[in-house]
């Protein structure tokens, strides 16, 4: 998986396609994003930011803080370096409200892929940027983030390879040092934030994107336990509802992948409620995890998740004739037969969130876009041209749900019905 938020394009050109909008509008978006040229990652293609215009200042740059005495706590990235986070203090009415975001970036399923991560920001703080832009749900611009702009906001960097879940004491794996300590990273960062004011929060919101969205499901209740009983505490998982589906060749590629991750980092004990008759990888899927969550969660997912289409539904290994290549890169190029399969994938998501539909205080927003994460981009989170379902942007829907302004359980119509979608078009698929 390529590192998130890389500053320049490596092998992938990305632009937004707005279906039903032609000419100048589409060209404007294409030029703006090509100028932004970024490396698209599982966790953060959504950190696309348009240049400030009309005198508006750019996104805030927030510095990296490394966890203190990380080695003593055993809270270490894959390579043994200290984990980190970015903290922007709130102000005014938001000074006692906290929004925590768990970064994503895929998983490593074997020692080879984990070793590769040790030489990147997904496995070592030595490669992390000193500052990152806070955009979308992390923005401090009220026009882009109306409900959370002045809150204390934290982005926790992802460097353990297993959604902040592993806790393997042994450092040596086949003679090489690996630190599978995601759970300890979670605990160490939370302990620091508690001291820095989280323990006094009147409101708190745990969010995450992709692999960080999965981590949000996993840690939602433990996050709630850190806060005062009379505080409002909820969670949002963006692009994190990964599905246990058969791919186009009939194999369960994602289940096999997750099984490798669970075995490598010894995660089985992390899910004590999981049925012992199930394949170990099944315990890692949100459909199983959500069954045991007590705290309110908001599920934000596209029905045609671009990453999942490319790696769960139609992975390269399942398509030796490359008949799905164009469809994987651009949904508008899918054949009628392929679209029928994609509609079946959408139905799988609807069936998988059946547990969520029964939870009274939960919410969801399932749009019909070909994207991945949507909360970290100001374009998709909240702008005049944001995707909408029932005339509500994602930010408006999430805010309405968090503050109990209304029940939010939005499911979009089938592709290609929604002209407000910004569908991704790839030059090459996501890496895995």
| Predicted local confidence at residue 39, as pLDDT | 33
Dump pLDDT digits (tens) for 37-73. Answer: 333 344 333 333 333 434 457 899 999 999 999 999 9
Instruction: Identify the CA nearest to 74 among candidates 189, 179, 192, 222.
Output: 179
For residues 332-352, one letter each, b for 16 or more C-beta atoms within 10 angstroms of the residue's C-beta and e for the rest, the string is eebeeebbebbeebbebbeeb
* 20 domain-assigned: no
Are 416 and 320 within 8 A, CB to CB? no
Handedness of CA 316, 322, 326, 331 (dihedral sign): negative
| Predicted local confidence at residue 175, as pLDDT | 84
Residue 343: phi and psi, rounded to 5, are -65, -35
Are 162 and 180 within 8 A, CB to CB? yes
Are 394 and 401 within 8 A, CB to CB? no
* 417 domain-assigned: no
| Predicted local confidence at residue 23, as pLDDT | 40
Residues 190 and 281: their CA atoms lie apart, in Å, by 27
Beta bridge partners of 299: 237, 364
| Predicted local confidence at residue 274, as pLDDT | 81
Dump pLDDT digits (tens) for 323-354. Answer: 999 999 999 999 999 999 999 999 999 999 99
Instruction: Write out the residue range of the structural domain in which residue 189 sits.
Output: 75-411
* 17 domain-assigned: no
Residues 216 and 409: their CA atoms lie apart, in Å, by 19
In a 10 Å sphere around its CB, with 0-12 CB exposed, 13-18 middle and 19+ buried, how is residue 54 labelled?
Answer: exposed
Q: What tokens were used for 222?
A: 């433990």
Q: Are strands 409-411 and 363-367 parallel, antiparallel or unpaired?
A: parallel
DSSP string of 10-26, one letter each residue: SS---EEEETT--THHH
* 249 domain-assigned: yes
Quote the number of domains for the chain: 1
| Predicted local confidence at residue 432, as pLDDT | 66
Using CA atoms of 102, 105, 111, 112 in order, give the dihedral in degrees to the nearest 10: -160
> Catalytic residue numbers?
210, 305, 372
Residues 427 and 314: their CA atoms lie apart, in Å, by 16
Q: Are strands 131-134 and 409-411 parallel, antiparallel or unpaired?
A: unpaired
Are 298 and 401 within 8 A, CB to CB? yes
Q: What tokens were used for 98?
A: 């906290």
Which CATH number does the domain housing residue 165 bear?
A: 3.40.50
* 11 domain-assigned: no
DSSP string of 144-202, one letter each residue: T-TTTTTSEEEEE---SSSTT-------EETTEE----HHHHHHHHHHHHHHTTGGG-S
* 192 domain-assigned: yes
Are 65 and 129 within 8 A, CB to CB? no
| Predicted local confidence at residue 172, as pLDDT | 83
Residue ranges of the chain with per-residue pLDDT less than 50 = 1-55
pTM (whole model) above 0.85: yes
* 26 domain-assigned: no
| Predicted local confidence at residue 324, as pLDDT | 98
* 3 domain-assigned: no
């Amino acid at each position: 998986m390529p590192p998130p938020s890389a500053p320049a394009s490596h092998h992938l050109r990305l632009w937004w396609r707005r279906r039903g909008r032609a000419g100048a509008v589409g060209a404007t978006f294409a030029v703006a994003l090509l100028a932004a040229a970024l490396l698209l990652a599982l966790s953060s293609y959504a950190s696309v930011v348009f240049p400030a215009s009309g005198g508006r200042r750019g996104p805030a740059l927030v510095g990296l803080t490394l966890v203190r005495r990380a080695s003593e706590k055993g809270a270490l990235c894959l390579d043994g370096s200290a984990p980190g986070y970015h903290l922007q203090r709130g102000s005014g009415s938001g000074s006692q409200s906290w929004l925590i975001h768990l970064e994503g970036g895929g998983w490593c399923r074997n020692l080879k892929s984990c070793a590769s991560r040790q030489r990147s920001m997904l496995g070592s703080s030595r490669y992390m940027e000193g500052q990152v832009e806070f955009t979308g749900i992390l923005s401090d611009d009220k026009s882009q983030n109306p409900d959370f702009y002045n809150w204390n906001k934290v982005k926790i960097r992802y460097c353990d390879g297993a959604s902040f879940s592993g806790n393997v004491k042994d450092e040596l794996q086949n003679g090489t040092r690996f630190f599978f300590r995601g759970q300890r990273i979670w605990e160490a960062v939370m302990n620091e934030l508690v001291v820095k004011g989280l323990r006094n929060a009147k409101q708190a919101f745990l969010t995450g994107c992709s692999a960080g969205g999965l981590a949000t499901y996993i840690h939602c209740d433990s996050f709630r336990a850190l806060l005062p009983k009379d505080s409002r505490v909820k969670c949002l998982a963006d692009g994190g509802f990964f599905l246990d589906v058969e791919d186009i060749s009939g194999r369960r590629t994602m289940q096999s992948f997750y099984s490798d991750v669970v075995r490598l980092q010894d995660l089985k004990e992390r899910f004590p409620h999981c049925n012992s008759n199930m394949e170990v990888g099944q315990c890692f899927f949100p459909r199983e995890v959500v069954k045991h969550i007590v705290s309110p969660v908001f599920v934000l997912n596209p029905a045609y998740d671009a990453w999942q289409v490319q790696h769960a539904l139609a992975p390269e290994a399942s398509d030796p004739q490359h008949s799905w290549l164009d469809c994987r890169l651009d949904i508008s190029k899918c054949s009628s037969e392929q679209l029928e399969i994609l509609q079946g994938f959408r139905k799988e998501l609807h069936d998988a969130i059946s547990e969520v539909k029964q939870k009274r205080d939960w919410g969801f927003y399932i749009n019909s876009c070909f994207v991945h994460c949507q909360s970290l981009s100001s374009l998709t989170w909240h702008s005049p041209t944001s995707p909408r379902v029932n005339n509500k942007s994602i930010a408006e829907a999430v805010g309405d749900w968090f503050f109990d302004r209304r029940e939010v359980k939005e499911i979009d119509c089938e592709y290609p019905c929604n002209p407000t979608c910004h569908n991704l078009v790839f030059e090459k698929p996501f890496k895995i």
